[in-house]
Structure 1
Amino acid sequence: MKYLVMVQGSQADYEAMRGQASAHSPAWSEKDLQAMFAFMGEVNNDLSESGELVDGNGLAEPAQTRYVSAGKDGKPVITDGPYGETKELLAGYWVLDCESLERVTEIAARVATCPAPEGAPPYPVVIRPIQDGGGCV
C-alpha cells in the first residue's frame, strides 16, 4: 500500500534554519543543518535500497507559497504566504510503498528522530494512506 509521510514545520522553523532564532526555535548552525541533511540522506538511501521510496521532497518555506480558493462570486481568490493563522504546514514529504501500516509507522518514527539543535521544537510526522484509484477528491 502507498502512504504519504509528511513532516510538519512553520515559517519560524525555516527562519531558524537560516540562523534567525525566535521564541519558537533556536537558530540552527551550519553543523546542525549538515547533521539534518546527512540524516535525511541516510533515510532516503535506505528507502531507495529497500524499494519503498516512490517520491520525496523538501518544500520551500511558507513565505513562498500561494493559496488559491474560490471566492463567493466564483472567481479565484489568490493569497500569497506565509499565513499567520496557520501554525504548521507541510515542510517535506515521502510517498512510500510499504507492506503495512506498522512498517510505515516505523519509518515515520525514525524520521521523527532527525537531529536538531537543543531547544528546537519537535517536528511532527503525519502518515496518510493513499487511496487506490488516483484522481482528485
Structure 2
Amino acid sequence: MLMIQAAVMDEATVTDEAAGAADGCTVEDWIAYDTAVKDAGIWVDGHSLADLTTATAVRVGPGGERTVTDGPFAETREVLGGYYVIDVPDLDAALDWAARCPGARGGGSVVVRPVAEF
C-alpha cells in the first residue's frame, strides 16, 4: 500500500491551484500517475480522501464509553491524503512506484507498507 502523506496547509490561504503548486504537482501529474499505475496492471485499489476538516475520530475507553471528536486527535504536519493499493513483486518495485508518485514531491511523502494477510 502506498499511503500518500500531504503537508498540512493553512486552509484560509489555500485554493485548489495554490495547493497544487505548494505540493509540487498538478492535477495533470496525478492523472498521469493514476494512468501509469493502471496501465502497468498493478492497480488494485485507491482513493483520494476528503479534506481533514471532514474527519471524525472515535475512541472507546476502558469502560466501553465512546468518545467522538472532530478531526484528528493530535496536531500533525502531515495528513493521509489518499492511498493506492498496488500488486508488485517486491519492496524495490513498490519503492520505485512510490518515488514516481506526485505525493512524494514538495514536502509530502509516500509511506510504503505491505497489506497484512491473515
TM-score of the pair, normalised by structure 2: 0.81
* Percent identity of equivalent pairs: 28
Question: 1:132 maps to what in 2?
Answer: 117
1:17-54: CA deviation from partner (whole Å, max 9, x where unpaired): 426xxxxxxx7178x49x52111111111111111001
Judged with a 3 Å threshold, the aligned counterparts in structure 2 of structure 1 residues 14 and 101 are, in CA distance, closer, same or farther, namely: farther
Conserved 8 A contact 1:112-1:124: no
Question: 2:70 maps to what in 1?
Answer: 80
TM-score of the pair, normalised by structure 1: 0.71
SS of corresponding position for 2:63: coil
SS of corresponding position for 2:29: helix
Q: Quick one: distance in 1 between partners of 2:90 and 2:96?
A: 10
Q: Quick one: distance in 2 between partners of 1:54 and 1:29?
A: 27
1:93-130: CA deviation from partner (whole Å, max 9, x where unpaired): 10000011111100111115767xxxxx5101100011
Correspondence 1:104-115 to 2 at 5 A: 104-112=94-102
Q: Quick one: distance in 2 between partners of 1:114 and 1:9?
A: 8
SS of corresponding position for 2:92: helix
Alpha-carbon offset, residue 84 of structure 1? 5.4
Judged with a 3 Å threshold, the aligned counterparts in structure 2 of structure 1 residues 126 and 79 are, in CA distance, closer, same or farther, namely: same
Q: Quick one: distance in 2 between partners of 1:77 and 1:41?
A: 38
Q: Quick one: distance in 1 between partners of 2:104 and 2:26?
A: 6
Q: Does 1:101 align with 2:86?
A: no
Conserved 8 A contact 2:6-2:78: yes
Judged with a 3 Å threshold, the aligned counterparts in structure 2 of structure 1 residues 78 and 44 are, in CA distance, closer, same or farther, namely: same
Conserved 8 A contact 2:43-2:85: yes
Q: What residue identity is the alignment partner of 1:125?
A: V
Q: RMSD in angstroms over aligned alpha carbons?
A: 2.7
Equivalent pairs, count: 116
Q: Does 1:122 align with 2:112?
A: no
Gap runs ≥5 in structure 2: none
Instruction: List 4+ stretches of structure 1 deviating above 6 A.
Output: none
Alpha-carbon offset, residue 5 of structure 1? 0.2
Where relative contact order (Cα < 8 A, 6+ residues apart) is larger, the structure is 2
Gap runs ≥5 in structure 1: 20-26, 116-120
1:48-89: CA deviation from partner (whole Å, max 9, x where unpaired): 111100111111111110000112421111011155523322
